Structure formats: structure tokens, C-alpha cells
Amino acid sequence: MIRFTSPPDASDLPARFPSPFDRAAVHPLARRAAMETMDLLQLPAMAPWRLDQPGNGKMFGVLVVAASDGTVGYLRGFSGMVAGTWTIEGWAPPTYDGAARDAVWIPGEAELYDLGTDDDARTARSRELLPAIQETYRFTNAWGEVRALRDLFAPKEPPGGAGDCAAPKLLAQAYAQGLRPLALAEFWWGAPPRTGDRRAGSFYPACQGKCPPILAHMLRGVPAEPPPLFGAAAIAEREPAVVYEDEHLVVVNKPCGLLSVPGRSGLLRDSVSTRLRARYPDATGQLVVHRLDLDTSGLLLAAKDTTTFSALQRLFSRREIAKRYVAWLDGHVQDDEGVIDFPMRMDIDDRPRQIHDPVAGKAAVTTWQVLTRADGRTKVAFTPHTGRTHQLRVHASNPIGLDAPIVGDRLYGRVAPEYGERLLLHAESLAFTHPVTGVELRVTSPVPF
């Protein structure tokens, strides 16, 4: 256990373990431990790790812990490997059994080497080896219960790299040393990944692809906050307000915090779609024609009948509906206008985050214009020409975009959003030809920030 540079008081300790999946819940003690670790990573002794080189940045983590005598300190860890090795003194070790893994991997690696440049054969053999390697991972919780990796993900297959994140390593080390977990923080350090979706010094929640079943088990017996359920906040019944309506369609002003359509899990039913269905019981087919992110406010278009719905969808597919968004960005954008054009896809290991992928991504194009600059922030107007999930948020935050995330962005922002500060992104206008009447419509909604 590493001692803090100045011992914390009992009043500094968290009452409950903050959820690792809540980016806004980085406890002050965990933040202190992270800052001390960042200071360490900047020392000349860390230069051989070459974290500042392209592709070498890494997710690190700290776990605040208490010993049986009440002493409080923290543990340090990193995801995967650093400088070509799994184990480094002073850092949390891997969660696999080393001898068992070597018994599988050492001969397996030799087989892969013998296959030479036959990529198909190497890939097939790697897939065969993976389950055997995964069987060497074991996870303990505060009650001493031990579960195997594949058991935790059953009946599904565990994703590659499951169990290698910093969080499970740190919890495993705490239990092995008889320490009580108090708070966790994970942060990126070094060069950004090739996808451009991580920033040095920024905190991030535990990933959604690899960590939920592992951490749910490892935190059993620890008084912990539940994972955040975004979209469950109470929204006034009068919302969403109608901005334009006729016998064929309706345009509403969606508030921040209300889903466009019900959540996939079935836990979140409240949405613009369900509310409009209650208001217009005679409407046929689907209502909501497109979607806005939960955290985005502004204009949303809905149809009252299946014919209009299909016609509006055709307008969207032909890019004949012009949309304009306004946002405040966390940073100074030097140019006055421009075009962002790079492909994106879902990050399958950390849904719902989206990442830049020049190979497997789909085209995403946005034009933008600066409206004003003030206090280190930039207000911009966005016009998306494609409709990728989180397109504007990624185009704003990515280094090959504007390199300035939208203020309040809990997924792509530089730091955890301030409590109470919403995502400052608003769908300000929609312009299109009415598919039934042929009238040119332009609907606007005042920007609320």
C-alpha cells in the first residue's frame, strides 16, 4: 500500500464505494491518488515506458484502500501490459494464474511462430488458445468468493482482454493483501490511442464491454453505489413541448435528459416516443423519425401516420432535411469555420462510445462555424451531413476534429463534468419540404444556454 503524501482525515473517506461506471463520481481521495500517480509517470525514471510515443498511451488506475489498523493509502495499476511486460514491481499484478497461463501460452506462442505468415491459420489457432488462456483468470470478492472469468460471462464468450483492465487488477490486489477498497479512479496517460478517444490526464469510467460482470462480482460485500442509470431522471409531464404541428407531423422540443425512444434494456420506458404515443393514440406506425442523444436538447421530428413516416425517412436518407446544432466547446477553436470528415464506428468494448476507425468506420461529415469565443470556450454551429451516433460529440472532441469536446460531455469530455452542468448541445433548427403539402418548412428552437 502506498501512503498519501499527507494522511487523509477520517472525514475525507467516502461513506460508500463510488460506482466505477460513473465518470462524475471520482472521489476526491481517488483524485488525489491519481494526481500523485500522474506526477510519478512524469519522472525521468518512467521514460523507458515510452508512454508519449504513438500507440503507447495507457489506461492507469488507483484504488484507495484501508488496512485493518485504519491506515489509508492506495494501490496503483495499469491495463494490459506496459513496456512489453505484465508485471512491474509497485503496480498491481495480472489477475491470471501465471504458471497456468504459461503452460498454455508458451507452447501456443511457439505454434503461432511455426505458422509463419499464414495469417488465417494463425488467427484460427489464436482463437483456439483464447478459451484456455481465459480459464487461468480468477476473481475474488470481499466475501472471499472466487469466480472464473468464463463463468462470469456465461453463456456468452468473454471479450478479448477481459480481466486485464486496471480496475479488476487493483481490487484483486486489495483482497490479496487484506485491504478494504474505498474508491477507484481510472485515467489515461501518454499519447492518445489511434482512435483519438482518450486524453492524457482525463478520468474515464470502467468500460462497458469487459468490466460489468467482473466488477459486479468483485464488489460484492463492499457497500457500493449502483451504476448510474442515465435517462431515469424525472421530466415534467408537459414535455416535450410542441413547436410545430399539422395533421401529418409534429415537431417537438426535446429536453435534455429525456430519451428519444425507450431504452433497449426495458428498464427505461419513458421517452419522447412513448409520450407522443399517449398524446396521439390514433397515430399509426412509428412516430419518432430520427433521434437525439439523451443528453442533447432540441428539435425532434415525428410523424402521425405510416405514409408520412416513410416519406420523412426518405428525406433523411437523401439528406434533404437540413439540421443545425449549437454547442459550447471546452477549448479555443482557432479557425472560424471548416469541414470535419472522418469515419466512425461503435466501440464494441465500451458501448455506447463511438471511435474513429479509417478501416471499418462509416462516413461521417460535419460542417461547422464559430459563433463566439469566451473564457476559454468556443460557441459553434454544427451542420451534420450524415447521421452517425454521437457524430457531433466525436467530431468536436477528437484531435483530428476540433480537439475541443462539448462542454458537459460525460463520454468524450476532457474531465468529469461539473455537477449540474448539462451537455451544451442543442438542435436549433430543422428545414425541409413537407412530404405531403410540398410547403417549405423551417422550424427553430431558441438555444437555452
Cell representation of residue 302: 415525428
Please check whether residue 283 is in contact with residue 289, taking contact to mean a CB–CB distance below 8 angstroms: no
Distance CA 379, CA 447 (A): 11
- Amino acid identity of residue 206, one-letter, is A
What does residue 82 show for φ and ψ, rounded to 5 degrees?
A: -130, 135
Distance CA 223, CA 13 (A): 13
- Beta-carbon neighbour count of residue 141 at 10 Å? 19
- 413: which residues sit within 8 A by CB, 6+ positions away? 202, 330, 397, 405, 406, 407
Q: How far is CA 391 from CA 81, 216, 345, 346, 356, in A?
A: 31, 31, 10, 11, 10
- Beta-carbon neighbour count of residue 178 at 10 Å? 9
Coil/strand/helix, residue 143: coil
Please check whether residue 95 is in contact with residue 138, taking contact to mean a CB–CB distance below 8 angstroms: yes
Specify the pTM: 0.89
Cell representation of residue 141: 470478492
Of 97, 120, 164, 293, which is the active-site residue? 293
Residue 293: active-site member: yes
Please check whether residue 301 is in contact with residue 291, taking contact to mean a CB–CB distance below 8 angstroms: no
Give residue-wise pLDDT tens across range 39-69: 999 999 999 999 999 989 999 999 999 999 9
- Beta-carbon neighbour count of residue 227 at 10 Å? 16
Q: Specify the pLDDT at position 293.
A: 95
Q: Calculate the CA 78 to chain-centre distance.
A: 18
Distance CA 219, CA 241 (A): 42
Give residue-wise pLDDT tens across range 360-387: 999 999 999 999 999 999 999 999 999 9
Distance CA 147, CA 150 (A): 9
Give residue-wise pLDDT tens across range 3-31: 998 999 989 999 999 999 998 889 999 99
Q: Specify the pLDDT at position 266.
A: 65
Q: How far is CA 50 from CA 36, 42, 201, 285, in A?
A: 19, 11, 16, 56
Bridge partners, residue 384, by sequence: 366
Tracing cell 442543442 back to the chain, one arrives at 426
* C-alpha count within 13 angstroms, C-beta hemisphere, residue 324: 16
Q: What does the pLDDT profile of the chain (449 residues) look like in tens digits?
A: 999 989 999 899 999 999 999 988 899 999 999 999 999 999 999 999 999 999 899 999 999 999 999 999 999 999 999 999 999 999 999 999 999 999 999 998 888 888 888 888 888 888 889 999 999 999 999 999 999 999 999 999 999 899 999 999 999 999 999 999 999 999 999 999 988 889 899 999 999 999 999 999 999 999 999 998 888 888 999 999 999 999 999 999 999 999 999 987 667 889 999 999 999 999 988 899 999 999 999 999 999 999 999 999 999 999 999 999 999 999 999 999 999 999 999 998 888 899 999 999 999 999 999 999 999 999 999 999 999 999 999 999 999 999 999 999 988 986 555 445 799 999 999 999 999 999 999 999 999 99
Please check whether residue 287 is in contact with residue 276, taking contact to mean a CB–CB distance below 8 angstroms: yes
